[in-house]
Structure formats: structure tokens, C-alpha cells
Structure 1
Amino acid sequence: MPENDLGQANRRTVKRLLFLVAGMFGFVFALVPLYSVFCDITGLNGKTADGPARAVVVEPDLSRTVMVEFLASVNEDMPWDFRPVRVRMEVHPGKMYRTSFVARNRTGQAMVGQAIPSVTPGIAASHFKKTECFCFTEQKFEAGEERDMPLLFMVDTELPEEIEEVTLAYTFFDKNKLLN
């Protein structure tokens, strides 16, 4: 093969590879909003509402109970302690309950954290209503500060009957690292 033809073949290959890399980048960039839309439509991923639910008076279903489990974790970059006060609660759908979580900044400097909630099974997320939650706003902790953070919630009476256990998990992130 003449050298000129080899150069053209190489340039053509490089162009194809660059086009492929650009296409892959665009595909990955588009996945985040597409995944959010997919989760909103299907109820997967256990995303709960970003803000407080409207307080609605409903008749509690006292004939039924749902076990709610609470989990707490911190991102690997978050030097805080974080735990639920109660690990499990048996609740009646439609009735409001109060519990809390405790967080402590173990560092010698002020930090801002943000708790991100998730509900399992994912289909239960739309039926888990929080009217008061520390996850609605960022939490600023002074050096060494420990705080009790309340959660006021209700499991909707429309939760499918076959769901007998719901897990509410929070992960605390360093707000400054979330923004970077």
C-alpha cells in the first residue's frame, strides 16, 4: 500500500474513533436525565419527594401494619457519625409518626452536609410521605456538634397490600464535595 493511501486510512480511522468517543460521551451525558425520567415513570430507585408532603388528614388503616426500617450511612468522604434513633417501627398506614436521626460532625471545622433519602422497595417511594425532614435542607454543623434531627412521616393508605416492609435509607454527603 502506498504511503499516501496509508496516511489517508489512518486519518479516516482517527476521525471514526474521535466520532465514536464523542458519541459515547454524549450518550453518557444524556443518561443522567434519562435515568431520572425513567425512575419517575417506573417508580424505581426509591426516590422520594424533594420537599415536604402536604399534610392531608386521612383515616388511618388500623387493620394493617407496615414495618418501616431506618438506615443511615455517610458517604466515604463525610467524617460524620450518623444513625437512626429507632431502627424499626411498626406503623399503621395513614397515621403520622415521628422519629429522629442523630448526626455528629467529628471534625475540628464547620461542615455542611446534605442527606439524600431512598425508599425500598422503589414502588413504595411514592407512598412514603415526609412532612418534616432534615433531608429537605442542607445541614450546617459546627466543629464537634451533635444534633437530633426529627423526621415526621406517614405511609400512605394506598400502599399496595403486598408490601409489608419499607426501608427508608439516608446517605449524608459533604455538600461542598457534592457541588464539585
Structure 2
Amino acid sequence: MADSISMKKLVTRLLLVVVAMFVFGFALVPIYDVMCQAFGINGKTAGQYEGSQTVDTSRQVRVQFLSTNSADMSWDFYPKSDELTANPGAVNEMIFIAHNPTDRPMSAQAVPSIAPSSAAAYFHKTECFCFTQQVLQPGQRIEMPVRFIVDRDMPKDVKHLTLSYTLFDITARHPPVAVNTGG
């Protein structure tokens, strides 16, 4: 009888631990966002922007572009230019080049970051190759645009932003389909 009661208590406690772990798993994303905001780290961009603004021609912000590959990524990946000057409220565009020099189809995902992180909320991407996975066939080269608006409400002391992308090989998780180019 005592063994039966202690077994029920053990099973109940284990079920509570499983439920708590499940709830914690769902809570990780909001907790991560709050922690990043509180500590000013991981300058994630504000995401897609649906609004429109008038252009502030009296002010200019220098936007620098950086690109890096993760350790296992073999693609060539770079912006067409290292920087541009943007007026807050204006739509801007930069083209990034990606080239798959391997002999196999590959999938990739770009992860953006903005510095300083305090300005990330004022950087609105209206179109970005980072919103989707990129699939390149062997030897294929593509141009990938990023269109963005620097918000007019960005603090006036911010005169320089850096938009950086890290390109990750996700082929193992999202295998691409090879395209038959033979006739």
C-alpha cells in the first residue's frame, strides 16, 4: 500500500516536471526577447515594415553593410557596396551577392543584426533575402536585395548604423532539390 502511494506521488511529480518543461519551452522566446531588450544585445531588426514616412532630407545616416559566413558555409557572400548614406524616411536598397561554388545544391539562411542595438527598432526592412531560405544550384550566382527605411524617429545622436548578415548552411535540415539542367 505504501509503495503504491509513493509510486503515485513519483508519477505525479514527474508529470508536473514534464508540464513545467513544456511551458518553459514556449516561454523561452518571449524571455529571450525581453532579455535582449533589457541588456541591449543581439540587435535584431524590427522586421517587415508596412508604414510609410516622409523623407527627412535635412538628416543623413551612414549605413554600413557587413557579411560573414558561418564556419561550415562555403558560399561567396558579400554586399555590392560597403555602405550608403540614407535619409530617414526614404526607401533604400542594397544588393547582396551569393554564389555557390560547390558541385552540389545547397540551402542557406541569412541572419541579420543591427548595431548599435538601440537603433534596431528604427531600422525597418520592407524586403529582405533573410525572410526566406535561399537555395542555389552548383555554380549558381544570385543577387539578393534588401530594402529598408531608417525611421525618422531614430534618435538624432545615431549617425551610423551597421547591418550585418551571417549566412548559415542549412542544407542538412532543409535539403534542396537538384535541378536537372541537361537537355
* TM tier relative to shorter chain: 0.7 to 0.9
RMSD: 2.2
Q: Which residue of 2 aligns with 1:155?
A: 150
Q: 1:81 to 1:62 in 2, by over 3 A?
A: same
Partner deviation per Cα, 1:50-100 (whole Å, 9 max, x = no partner)? 5x221x221111110000000011101001000000111011000001121
Q: Which residue of 1 aligns with 2:108?
A: 113
Q: Which residue of 1 aligns with 2:45?
A: 48
Gaps of 5+ in 1: 1-25
Q: Which residue of 2 aligns with 1:58?
A: 53
Q: CA deviation at 1:45?
A: 1.4
Amino acid aligned to 1:85:
K
- Say whether the 8 Å CA contact 1:43–1:125 is kept in structure 2: no
The size of the alignment, in residue pairs, is 150
Is 1:39 matched up with 2:36? yes
User: Which residue of 70, 90, 93 maps to 2:88?
Assistant: 93
For residues 37 and 155 of structure 1, the distance between their equivalents in structure 2, rounded to whole angstroms, comes to 23
State the SS of the aligned residue for 2:36.
Answer: helix
For residues 37 and 109 of structure 1, the distance between their equivalents in structure 2, rounded to whole angstroms, comes to 40
Q: Which residue of 1 aligns with 2:161?
A: 166
The percentage of aligned residue pairs carrying the same residue is 40
TM-score in terms of structure 2 length = 0.75
- Say whether the 8 Å CA contact 1:124–1:166 is kept in structure 2: yes
- Say whether the 8 Å CA contact 1:46–1:121 is kept in structure 2: yes
